[in-house]
Structure 1
C-alpha cells in the first residue's frame, strides 16, 4: 500500500541529520559506588570530575567525568541508584575506549591504582597499533589506544549488533553519522564499523561489532545510553520516526521538554535495542551554565 502524501517525508527532512551540527555529549551508565568510581576514573584514568549532583527525591546521584569540558568533549555520566551496588553488564555492551600518547604508561598507572589490566599493553595481532584493556571497579571494559595528540581522548563506545549493514544504515539515516571505516576479521569471525561525525582520530565513534552468526545479545541493566546534540529535536524526531518504520527500533520518548528542567529531548531504541537520546544543543548549554 502506498504511503499517503502526508506520510512521505521531504528529501530536505531526510537530509537534515547530515546537515545538523551534531556531536556525542555523554554516555550514561550505572555504577554500584559513585565515590569509588570517581576516585578510580580521576586517579587511574586521569579524568576530571566535571560536575556531580544528588537527586534525593528520585533516589539517585550522578557524576560527569571526562578529559575536557562538557561544552566541547564527550564525557561519561555515572549514575548511582540508592541502595543498588551491582548491575548486569550483559553480553551486548563491549567497551569504552581512551586514546593516550603512551598506552604502556597508562596501563602501569591503572595497575598502580588497583585497577585490573585484562590485556597487557602491546601491538595488536598482525598489526602495529598499540592497545591494552582495563577493567573499572564495576566490570566495564576500557580499551586503551595509543594515539598522539587527539582532541577527544574518550573515543569509543563499542556495542554488539545482530545485523551490521542494517545498523550502519540506521545510524547514517536516523542520526546522520558517517561510516569512518569497516573492518572484517574472518579469522576472528567478526566485522566492525566505526560510525561518527568526523574522522575517527578527531572524534568519538560508535564501534558497532557483528560476531558471525550472532543476532541477539542480552542488554543487562548497567549501560543505559548515549546522548547526542541536535539543533532541532522535533525535526530530528520526525526523521527517526521514519527510519524506525523502515529499519526497526522504537521511540521511547516523543520530542519535548523535560519537566522541571525544560531541556528538549527525544529518545529512541535502534533495531538492536540500544538507546540514544537527542538533546537540544542550546538547552544543553543553558543547563550547563545554570548557577548551582
Structure 2
C-alpha cells in the first residue's frame, strides 16, 4: 500500500458559523470546497442521519498536497457528545497562536511553545508556536486506543503504515504512509475507547485497484468492514469508490480511489461564498429560538 495518502479527518459540527470562524479566523485555514446534500450519505460520511446535511473541506492548501478537515453539518442537530476517542490535531503555526490571542480564544500552554485549544464542539487542537511551514502545517492526528500493540499490528501489518516512533513507557506510537504526510499518533489510554456521538473518521486514498484487495484482506482477517466497496456521487463532480473500515477500537477509516478523489477534491474558488450563502440561508437557529425549542442533541 505504498501509494496511500493521508487525506482528512471528519468532524461533526453542531454550530456551523462558530466552527467556520474557528477554522478560518483562528487556524487560518481556507475553505477549499463546500457541498450541500438533501439526503444522508451511503457511506454515512455525515453519521447515521438521513436528512439534509453539508460538507465543508477546510485546510491550508489544496487537498492534493495537504491534510485537511472535513466539517459535516446535519441540519437540525445542534450538538454531539464527545467520547475519549479523538485526542487532538497538531498544527504548526505561530499565526494561529497569535490569532487565538487576538480573538481571546482560550489557550493553555501544555509544553514549551505548544498550546492546547478547543474547536467548537470540544475537539482539541495543539498549536506549535513556530513559523508555519510552506509544506503542510498539519503534523499529526492523535487517536486513543485500548491496546497499543494490537492497534500497531492492525495499522502497520494490515494497513501497511510505517512505524516512525514508538514509546512503550508513554504508551504511544507514530505511524504514517510517507515522511512528508500528516502522521497518525496512537495513544494507549488503558481503558475502552468511547466514540460518543461525535465520532469522527480518518480518510486515506489509494489506487482504485487496491480497494477490492483491502476489502478482501479485511474479510480474510475477520476485521470489521462498516461499508463494503461502494460508489459515492457528488452532483456535478467525480464519482468516487470507497470502502469504510473500523480498527480494533472502532475508529472509522475510509479508503478512497485516488485518481477520482483528486478530480473530486479540486479547490472550488466559490467555496467560501457557497458556505457563507448556506449559513445565511439556514434559518434553523431562528426557528428553534422562535418556538422556544433547542436543536436536537445527537
Shorter-chain TM-score category? 0.7 to 0.9
2:194 to 218, 238, 255: 218
Specify whether residues 41 and 259 from structure 1 end up closer, same or farther in structure 2 by C-alpha distance, changes over 3 A only.
closer
Deviation at 1:114, TM superposition (A): 3.9
Specify whether residues 28 and 142 from structure 1 end up closer, same or farther in structure 2 by C-alpha distance, changes over 3 A only.
same
Name the residue aligned to 2:105. 115
- Alpha-carbon displacement from aligned partner over 1:110-162 (angstroms, at most 9, x marks no partner): 13224221x22751xxxxxx311111122110011255636221222111101
Which secondary structure state, in structure 1, belongs to the residue aligned with residue 219 of structure 2?
helix
Q: Does 1:25 align with 2:2?
A: no
Deviation at 1:203, TM superposition (A): 2.0
Name the residue aligned to 2:138. 154
- Alignment: residue pair count: 252
Q: How does 1:111-190 map to 2 (within 5 A)?
A: 111-117=101-107, 119-120=108-109, 122-123=111-112, 130-146=113-129, 149=133, 151-185=135-169, 190=170
Name the residue aligned to 1:275. 252
Specify whether residues 49 and 289 from structure 1 end up closer, same or farther in structure 2 by C-alpha distance, changes over 3 A only.
closer
- Alpha-carbon displacement from aligned partner over 1:31-77 (angstroms, at most 9, x marks no partner): 11222211221111111111111113441112110011012111100
Q: Does 1:52 align with 2:34?
A: yes
Specify whether residues 67 and 290 from structure 1 end up closer, same or farther in structure 2 by C-alpha distance, changes over 3 A only.
closer
- Give the distance between the partners of 1:108 and 1:219, measured in 2 at CA: 32
- Give the distance between the partners of 2:87 and 2:145, measured in 1 at CA: 10
Contact 1:49 1:64 in 2 (8 A): yes
Q: How does 1:32-111 map to 2 (within 5 A)?
A: 32-57=14-39, 58-100=51-93, 102=94, 106-111=96-101
Contact 2:62 2:266 in 1 (8 A): no
Contact 2:86 2:143 in 1 (8 A): yes
Name the residue aligned to 2:216. 238
Specify whether residues 262 and 141 from structure 1 end up closer, same or farther in structure 2 by C-alpha distance, changes over 3 A only.
same
Which secondary structure state, in structure 1, belongs to the residue aligned with residue 78 of structure 2?
coil
- Alignment gaps of 5+ in structure 2: 40-50, 271-298
Q: Does 1:203 align with 2:181?
A: yes
- Give the distance between the partners of 2:149 and 2:160, measured in 1 at CA: 15
Deviation at 1:289, TM superposition (A): 4.5
Q: How does 1:238-257 map to 2 (within 5 A)?
A: 238-243=216-221, 245=222, 249-257=223-231
Contact 2:92 2:139 in 1 (8 A): yes
TM-score in terms of structure 2 length: 0.78
Deviation at 1:91, TM superposition (A): 1.6
- Give the distance between the partners of 1:233 and 1:147, measured in 2 at CA: 38
TM-score in terms of structure 1 length: 0.80
Name the residue aligned to 1:3. none
